[in-house]
Amino acid sequence: MTEMEKYHVILFDSVHHALRSEKILKGMGIPHKLIPVPRHISSDCGVCLRFTIDLRNKIEDALNGKVDIYEIRPL
């Protein structure tokens, strides 16, 4: 599996939602990484959260209803 296939990213409309999500995931001990939005993806806020694919459901459950997610997509 290549690096690209291993990860998904969560995109947000606002940096504040990205930061709120980071706080929630940190609090729950769910591994993730705040990275600049890759050049081939566009988003208004410029930062996104990267995570390994196996954590997708866990992360969606953790953030559901607490932050506005623009999109979750492969890296």
Partner 1 sequence: MAKTIDAKGLACPQPVLLTKKALGEENNVTVTVDNEPAVANITRLGKTMGCTLHIDKREDGTFQIHLSRDAGKIPSAPLDLSCATGPLVIAISSDRMGRGDDELGYVLIRTFIHTILSLEPLPHTVIFYNTGVKLTVKDSESLDDLKEIEKKGIAVIVCGTCLNYFGITKNLSVGVISNMYDIASTMAGAGRLVIP
Binding residues for partner 1, per CB under 8 A?
15, 18-19, 33-36, 46-47
Instruction: Provide CB contacts within 8 A for 21, sequence distance 6+.
Output: 10, 12, 49, 63, 66, 67, 69
What is the nearest approach in angstroms of partner 1 to the Cβ of residue 33?
A: 7
Pick between residue 36 and residue 65 the one whose CB is nearest to partner 1. Answer: 36
CB of 63 to partner 1, least distance (A): 18
Rg of the chain (C-alpha set): 11
Q: Measured from the CB of residue 6, what is the shortest distance to partner 1 in angstroms?
A: 14
